[in-house]
């Protein structure tokens, strides 16, 4: 395994600002990096209209850069999986209750929950019940899994901000005020990616055939996907030794865990280059991508890259997910297209041989590559809005400052 380094830095803020009676106070909570990015863009969009705004709540590095005073580190909330949540339920509930009590006392102009619905919807419901307006940023995927959650959303959310165009009609039908703001990734990812620049950044030859492997950022994803993904690389490397394979790592902990799993499986000699961060460069540099489900699949589509989606979880969790699912797709490109535009291999179907054959097709079939580029370009345009402006405008309307 070879490594490259690209380490970001972050700042923090701990002292709560004292807001005068003329200031506007807004509370925000993000529990993960994706929500941190969304909320930070919203905060940046609000500042020109609310120059004396005071932001407080819970958030990550990007929200802190925009002036958020965070009650606790965002990492405290970042818990994945049913069992870990149950084990930490009392701790997380205590954080939620303390934040609720403070906000009930301070009465912010609005509360904004950035994704993280398991924590935020419960808090929003309690705040809205006493008259504090609530905005939820990124509609929970009720169209895919938790359809019954719409009842709670109706009670908890004053205004929903959605990032996919088809979601707007769902919330309108449920009587929830809603604004489609576009997807921020469609703004940050260029319509035409610079492949040569990405390869220079990563030290890859411009004429190489590159496969990017993305086993996810969650430890549970890495646990179940590392071995089948690395064995897929092994099969592809045997088929064409000139192929280059890279894998962006979300952090040191994820990288160390992946390396541990690779060593246990005896796959240390597989030619997979680990890259610290730089996930967008790794996608831009690729000729094809093997990715877990989630936001990464949308990023790959916005970079106009052929891909294969593969996902595995604990068998008991898989049975639960399988029984809860309402859609035949799990990958965001397929959900947006309402079609299997790229292949999905789930659970037992995600074998190294099946994945290697599918990635090889994505690498070598030029008609397929041209078709996907056209579909993904159309998708990119459909998601492209000024999300900071649109989300800020919606929040200003909610708090009566439009």
pLDDT of residue 47: 96
- Give the number of other Cβ atoms within 10 Å of residue 205's Cβ: 11
Q: Average pLDDT in the 214-226 region?
A: 89
Q: Which pLDDT value is given to residue 8?
A: 37
Distance, in Å, from the CA atom of 341 to the CA atom of 335, rounded to the nearest integer, reads: 9
Does the pLDDT at position 17 exceed 70?
Answer: no
* pLDDT recorded at residue 268: 93
Judged against a pLDDT cut of 50, whether residue 48 lies above it is answered with: yes
Task: Please report the pLDDT score of residue 80 as a whole number.
Answer: 60
Residue 209 pLDDT greater than 60, yes or no: yes
Q: Where are the alpha helices (DSSP H) in 60-131?
A: 61-65, 82-87, 89-106, 117-129
pLDDT at 87 over 80: no
- Mean pLDDT value across residues 332-360: 94
Q: What is the mean pLDDT of residues 168-191?
A: 93
Question: Cα(125)–Cα(122) distance, rounded to whole angstroms?
Answer: 5
Integer angstrom CA distances of residue 9 from 12, 257, 306 = 10, 22, 32
Cα dihedral 105→54→113→126 (10° resolution): 10
Category of 208 on φ-ψ map: left (φ > 0), alpha (ψ -120 to 50) or beta:
beta
Angle between helices 295-302 and 366-383 in degrees, nearest 10: 110
Q: Residue 325: which pLDDT band, with cuts at 50, 70 and 90? A: low
pLDDT band at 45 (very low <50, low <70, confident <90, very high): very high
243, pLDDT greater than 70: yes
CA 210 – CA 220 distance, rounded (Å): 26
> Given this model, what pLDDT does residue 278 score?
94
Cα dist from 318 to 179, 201, 267, 326, whole Å: 33, 38, 26, 14
For residue 272, give the H/E element and its range: strand 272-276
Query: Residue 83 pLDDT more than 90?
Result: no
Select from 189, 184, 188 the least CA-distant residue to 388.
184
SS3 content of the chain, % helix, strand, coil (to 5): 50, 15, 35
Of residues 166 and 315, which shows the higher confidence score?
Answer: 166
Which pLDDT does position 149 carry in this prediction? 78
Task: Provide the pairing of β-strand 272-276 with 244-249.
Answer: parallel
What separation in angstroms does the CA of 396 have from each of 82, 160, 172, 274, 303? 36, 13, 20, 44, 33
pLDDT surpasses 60 at 2? no
pTM: 0.80
CA distances from 97 to 68, 91, 136, 241, 284 (A): 20, 10, 19, 56, 43
Rounded Cα distance between 150 and 156, Å, is 10
Average pLDDT over residues 324-347: 85
Query: Which two structure tokens, joined as six digits, stand for 88?
Result: 């930490």
pLDDT tens digit sequence for 120-170: 999 999 999 999 999 999 887 765 555 567 889 999 999 999 999 989 988
Mean predicted lDDT score pLDDT of the chain? 89
pLDDT reading at 396 higher than 70: yes
Local structure of 291: helix, strand or coil? strand
Round to whole Å and give the CA distance between 130 and 65.
31
Residue 295 has pLDDT above 80, yes or no: yes
Orientation of helix 33-46 relative to helix 387-398, angle to 10°? 70
Q: How confident is the model at residue 319 (pLDDT cuts 50, 70, 90)?
A: low
d(CA 174, CA 149): 11
pLDDT over 90 (residue 208) = yes
> By the 8 A CB rule, do 202 and 191 touch?
no
**Whole-number pLDDT of residue 316:** 66
How far is the C-alpha of 143 from the C-alpha of 159, rounded, in Å? 18
* pLDDT more than 90, % of the chain: 71
Per DSSP, what are the bridge partners of residue 312? none
Query: Encoding tokens for residue 170?
Result: 């769902």
């Amino acid at each position: 395994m070879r490594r490259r380094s690209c380490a970001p830095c972050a700042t923090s803020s701990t002292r709560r600002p004292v807001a005068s009676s003329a200031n506007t106070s807004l509370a925000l909570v993000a529990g993960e990096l994706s929500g941190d990015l969304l909320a930070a863009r919203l905060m940046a969009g609000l500042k020109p209209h609310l120059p004396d705004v005071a932001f407080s709540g819970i958030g990550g590095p990007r929200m802190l850069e925009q002036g958020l005073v965070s009650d606790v580190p965002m990492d405290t909330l970042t818990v994945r999986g049913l069992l870990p949540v149950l084990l930490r339920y009392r701790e997380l509930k205590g954080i939620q209750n303390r934040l609720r009590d403070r906000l009930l006392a301070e009465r912010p102009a609005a509360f904004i929950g950035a994704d993280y619905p398991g924590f935020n919807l419960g808090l929003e419901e309690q705040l809205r019940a006493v008259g504090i307006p609530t905005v939820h940023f990124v509609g929970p995927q009720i169209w895919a899994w938790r359809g019954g959650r719409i009842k709670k959303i109706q009670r908890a959310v004053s205004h929903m901000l959605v990032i996919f165009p088809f979601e707007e009609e769902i919330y309108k039908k449920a009587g929830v005020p809603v604004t489609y703001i576009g997807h921020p990734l469609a703004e940050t990812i260029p319509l035409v990616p610079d492949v040569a620049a990405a390869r220079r950044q990563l030290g890859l030859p411009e004429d190489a055939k590159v496969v990017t492997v993305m086993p996810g950022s969650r430890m549970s994803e890495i646990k179940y996907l590392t071995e089948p993904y690395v064995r897929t690389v092994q099969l592809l490397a045997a088929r064409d030794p000139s192929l280059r394979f890279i894998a962006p790592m979300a952090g040191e902990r994820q990288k160390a865990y992946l390396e541990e799993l690779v060593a246990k499986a005896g796959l240390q000699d597989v030619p997979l280059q680990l890259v610290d961060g730089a996930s967008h460069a790794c996608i831009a540099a690729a000729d094809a991508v093997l990715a877990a489900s989630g936001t990464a699949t949308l990023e790959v589509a916005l970079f106009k890259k052929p891909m294969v989606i593969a996902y595995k979880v604990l068998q008991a969790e898989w049975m639960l997910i399988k029984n809860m699912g309402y859609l035949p797709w799990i990958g965001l490109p397929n959900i947006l297209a309402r079609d299997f535009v790229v292949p999905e291999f789930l659970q037992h179907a995600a074998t190294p041989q099946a994945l290697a054959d599918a990635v090889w097709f994505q690498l070598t079939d030029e008609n397929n590559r041209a078709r996907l580029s056209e579909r993904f370009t159309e998708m990119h345009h459909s998601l492209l809005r000024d999300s900071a402006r649109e989300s800020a405008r919606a929040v200003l309307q909610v708090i009566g400052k439009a």
